[in-house]
Structure 1
Amino acid sequence: MSLPIKNHRASGRVTLSDVARAAGVSPSTVSRALRGERAVDPALIERVVAVSDKLGYVPDPAARALASQRSNHVAILIPLLSNTLFVDLLDAAQKTLRAAGYQTLMGVTHYDSSEEEQLLREQLLHRPAGLLITGLDQNLATQKLMARSQVPCVHLMDLPATADSETPYCVGFRQIEAGASLTKMLLQQGRRRIAFAAAQLDPRVMQRLYGWRSALQEANLYDPTTEWLNPAASSLALGGIMFEQIMQQRPAVDAIFFCNDDLAQGALLAALRLGIAVPRQVAIAGFNDLTGSDQMLPPLTTVRTPRARIGESAAHMLLTLMRGETPEKPLVDLGFEIIQRQSS
């Protein structure tokens, strides 16, 4: 027996109400069932999906967003997809949001504030239910867009120095503290001429630089000539080049703190090629504990950052905000871990 369809649209398009009528449930139940929300009984989801398939229903996200003033999409803005750091974060956030019935719209900013602003303008056209955005360094225009949209928002990776009534919702760790902690560990190992080598030079990298600098200043060992900063994109190749430059121009350096593992891995490969003994001649350390760092020769000392946990925790915080509830804490500090291996 064919299912009754009372569709009065001129286009003949099957509507959500048609599916609800045929399945004997409300339109809101159909909507939640088709999103796969865990609160909906699995048997009911199966029935609604079967009816939807039978009728040939295709969801209209634009109509849904217009009716509710919000869609079931969450916008996520990250700097790069070529960096494992952000891939891990995105994967964890997306899994958490999908389990709650939300889809994700991703934008890649390439560390460009103007591109971030434009991407946000485009995302807001889709009436997102929420926003996950990397960092706290948005330009003024982006900040105004976020405020005017009133879309619930959680910031990723960064934490403000202090919390007050104006503090945004954030999940991350303290980059300055992490940079200082790794530097102090190298100092405790007896290193006295510790260079800092960095690429990309985004705000989080500069915070690690500040942590390195403050630790050396505290020990009366800071030397500005051992800051090696390059605005180019980070890569293994650049790490090798920077290592060679430092060893040629600053041969007294006995340790190098690279701002991320890509550079440090490239430095270890260059040391092997040049016959420079690590860590006997120079210690090498990185940041983020990316894939492969524990397999280098020698294995890389680094800072392990909780990127997957940041993505998951931020998504849970955003879900709380999208329900109209207030999270227990506006700031969630997930910390970091110093991983000491044989390269130092």
Structure 2
Amino acid sequence: MTAQKNDKKNDRNSRTTGKPTLNDVARRAGVSPITASRALRGVSTVAEELSEKVRQAASELGYVANPAARALASKQSHNIVVLVPSLANQLFIETLEAIHAVMHPRGLEVLIGNYHYSRDEEENLLRNYLAYQPRGLLLTGFDRTESARRMIEASGVPSVYMMDLDPGAGLHCVGFSQIRAGEAAARHLLKSGRKRLAYIGAQLDQRTLLRGEGYRRALQQAGCYDPALEVLTPRPSSVGLGGELFRQLLASQPQVEGIFFGNDDLAHGALLEAMRHGIRIPEQVAVLGFNDLPSSEFMVPRLSSIRTPRKAIGTHAAERLLDLINDKPVSEPVMDLGFELMVRESS
């Protein structure tokens, strides 16, 4: 079909539906339809002056792009699907911001799916999003249903897994070892001579369980693991829950000398509860968190925590996905960004 026929077809569609078309926007802005499309998608190669003209024309006409039609016409979408287990957790927000910063200048739209730590909900999101033929998938961790795994494999859509590592799976993943992070937490508390050490974890997603496993291994190797000092609950992680579990643990195990919390918000709750009841941290009980959220260094006392590379994971996972989309060679599928132990006043 020639460009002239395309113009006539779009004009006819505009008159029939009453909705402005991309061609209408292009004519008003004085650019080609291709340039108008690129400008509206934020492609960085379009001059800012032209982009502004296109955006102004689209605004004046009330034009709204139809991504489904665009994908059908080009036989590929401009969407990247990112699936995360929570939008209430600060660590995923930082990762999503980093992904958007990489994708948007390249004209790719980021579609975010929140599956609330439910494997079944993630499977449904995958089924719905794959129907739109996304250019790529960014997935959190490796814990999903077998049906979801089959869908990802059968789709042929380039995929990168974030937050955790699985060197033996042959999958592209960007993150750090949750088990080694748990081991590092235990070694830090053991180094101070403390022996009666507890682990408190909530939500019980795979990453929380893995860091708990690493902590347990290190304590077992040191000969001081006590299963009575392991507190796990499927309840959502929160400051309030952290205070509650801290209080309950000390009531049942008053000789506990140190606690590793699976998330910083739980540790924040423990510090507040300790302050409320006059429990001296770290003299009576050392407290160590995980993720090193921005508020942790301002707690009283300042919270020691395992700092995780949330922003870097988003950036490198997005860049790796772009390489896969563009068929660029990738020498090593596993990218280990490590973690950092931030020692402060609480331990």
TM over 0.5: yes
Indicate which of 47, 57, 72 corresponds to 1:41: 47
CA distance in 2, matches of 1:55, 1:264: 53
Aligned to 1:69: 75
Shift of residue 260 of structure 1? 0.8
Aligned to 1:90: 96
Indicate which of 284, 296, 300 corresponds to 2:299: 296
Task: Indicate the SS of the match to 2:199.
Answer: strand
Task: Indicate the SS of the match to 1:343.
Answer: coil
Look up the equivalent residue of 1:322 and give its one-letter code. I
Look up the equivalent residue of 1:88 and give its one-letter code. E
Look up the equivalent residue of 1:61 and give its one-letter code. P
- Find out whether 1:332 has 2:335 as its counterpart: yes
Q: Deviations over 1:159-204 (max 9, x none)?
A: 01x34xx511111111100110111011111111111111111100
Aligned to 2:238: 235
CA distance in 2, matches of 1:25, 1:142: 43
Aligned to 2:204: 201
Distance 1:88 1:343, change over 3 A: same
Q: Deviations over 1:118-176 (max 9, x none)?
A: 1111212332221111111121111111112222111110101x34xx51111111110
Indicate which of 247, 267, 271 corresponds to 1:268: 271
CA distance in 2, matches of 1:167, 1:17: 45
The aligned length equals: 337
Q: Which has the higher helix share?
A: 2
Shift of residue 39 of structure 1? 2.4
Task: Indicate the SS of the match to 2:224.
Answer: coil
Identity over the aligned pairs, expressed in percent? Answer: 48
Look up the equivalent residue of 1:142 and give its one-letter code. A
User: Where in structure 2 are the equivalents of 1:1-344 lying within 5 Å?
Assistant: 6=8, 7-9=11-13, 10-11=16-17, 13-17=19-23, 19=25, 27-49=33-55, 52=58, 57-160=63-166, 162-163=167-168, 166-344=169-347
Distance 1:198 1:51, change over 3 A: closer
Structure 1 runs not aligned, ≥5 long: none
Greater CA drift, 89-98 or 330-339: 89-98
TM-score under structure 1 length normalisation: 0.91
Shift of residue 50 of structure 1? 5.2
CA distance in 1, matches of 2:266, 2:52: 50
Greater CA drift, 328-337 or 134-143: 328-337
CA distance in 1, matches of 2:286, 2:58: 62
Task: Indicate the SS of the match to 2:291.
Answer: coil
Shift of residue 40 of structure 1? 2.8
Task: Indicate the SS of the match to 1:213.
Answer: helix
CA distance in 2, matches of 1:85, 1:43: 36
Distance 1:179 1:33, change over 3 A: same
Q: Deviations over 1:94-127 (max 9, x none)?
A: 2221121111211111111000001111212332
